Amino acid sequence: MKKIIAGIGLLMLGVTSQSRAQGMMDGFMRGQRKASLAITASQETFNSYYVNTTETRDPTLGTVTTQALNAYGVYGLDYDLDFIVSASYARTDASAGYVPKHEGFQDIYGALRWEAFDFNFGKKARLAWLFALGYQQPLQNYVSDGLVTLGRGSRNFDGRTMLHFKGSWFFITAQYGYIRRGQVTLDRVINYYDPAQVNPNAGSKVNVPDVTEAILRAGITTKHLYLDGWVQRQTPYSAGTDIAPGVPFPTNAVGFTRAGATLYLPLVKKFGLTGTYSTTLDGRNTGKATQLSGGIIIGI
């Protein structure tokens, strides 16, 4: 059971409109030369979004829906080292107004997760200290300068550390990370008002604010069931901008607090079904999104 569920946390959140797969990593190691593959479908919707932190409903957008097909794989390079990869194909559309839909491959994410240290407490309890380094980049040149897009279009590095405690049937994982986002080249030259800018002739490249991330996840895991609940909080590290006319969306300081739950049910030895639900508790320059997803996990 433990082997197959490794990485459920990541795939359950999918790779959605804000490419938030980066970060939703769990503390279960896959094991040497073991692999698992998950295929899920997800749907995320929002009918209001945050301008800075003020919730706004926009009748020119209506409800924005993003549907995605997600693939996620993890392979144990060693007993204490996993390689993780994920990618998605998505379609996003608004129910009102004249904003066009977008469809295509989103980002690919790859990471190394390393269990650096572990402490055993008796025979059934164990505390592990993990680190992970990841990299993410768009799979295609999708539109990123808008509220209804496939993602933010930046190439990112992330580093994170996790403390993972597992008892006989329950676990808790605390995680903290930093996501370094690269520049994005807009389709236009920079032509909006920035009071700090003395030279309005600065080309098309803009900086995407970095974020810090904290995740707390707790749940139960038995032979017949995996169930967890989690809270994820992303906080912009750089000042960034707020949603406003003319302001490029990639420069917006995006943050949020989301909470969700994940369920995994094994069907036969190496196959299982999984589902997750999550909702946004608060946010900054992002949609107040609710997401539902489900799929299969195969252990190899």
Work out how close the CB of 262 gets to other proteins at its nearest, in angstroms, rounded to a whole number: 26
160: nearest Cα among 113, 200, 192, 126: 113
Q: Which is nearer to other proteins, 96 or 220 (CB)?
A: 96
- Cα separation of 24 and 279, whole Å? 14
Neighbours of 123 (CB within 10 A): 7
Work out how close the CB of 253 gets to other proteins at its nearest, in angstroms, rounded to a whole number: 9
296: its two tokens: 């299969």
Work out how close the CB of 24 gets to other proteins at its nearest, in angstroms, rounded to a whole number: 18
Work out how close the CB of 95 gets to other proteins at its nearest, in angstroms, rounded to a whole number: 12
Q: Which is nearer to other proteins, 159 or 167 (CB)?
A: 159
Q: Which is nearer to other proteins, 24 or 211 (CB)?
A: 211
- φ, ψ (nearest 5 deg) of residue 270: -115, 10
Say which amino acid occupies 32.
Q
Q: Which is nearer to other proteins, 201 or 223 (CB)?
A: 201
Beta bridge partners of 68: 42, 90
Q: Which is nearer to other proteins, 287 or 299 (CB)?
A: 287
- Cα separation of 76 and 253, whole Å? 35
Concatenating the DSSP letter of every residue in 16-52 gives: -TT-TTTT---S----TT-EEEEEEEEEEEES-EEET
Q: Which is nearer to other proteins, 199 or 268 (CB)?
A: 199
- Cα separation of 35 and 74, whole Å? 5
Work out how close the CB of 232 gets to other proteins at its nearest, in angstroms, rounded to a whole number: 18
With contact defined as beta carbons under 8 Å apart, do 108 and 84 qualify?
no
Say which amino acid occupies 192.
Y
Task: Please provide the size of the chain in residues.
Answer: 300
27: nearest Cα among 13, 12, 7, 4: 7
Work out how close the CB of 204 gets to other proteins at its nearest, in angstroms, rounded to a whole number: 9
Work out how close the CB of 37 gets to other proteins at its nearest, in angstroms, rounded to a whole number: 27
Q: Which is nearer to other proteins, 251 or 286 (CB)?
A: 251
Query: For binding to other proteins (CB under 8 A), which residues are involved?
Result: 56, 58-60, 96-101, 114, 116-117, 129, 131, 133, 141-143, 145, 157-161, 177-178, 180, 186-194, 196-203, 205-207, 209-210, 237-241, 244-248, 251
Q: Which is nearer to other proteins, 64 or 186 (CB)?
A: 186
- Cα separation of 217 and 24, whole Å? 10
Work out how close the CB of 142 gets to other proteins at its nearest, in angstroms, rounded to a whole number: 8
DSSP conformational letter for 241: B
Helix (H, G, I), strand (E, B) or coil at 265: strand
267: its two tokens: 């069907």
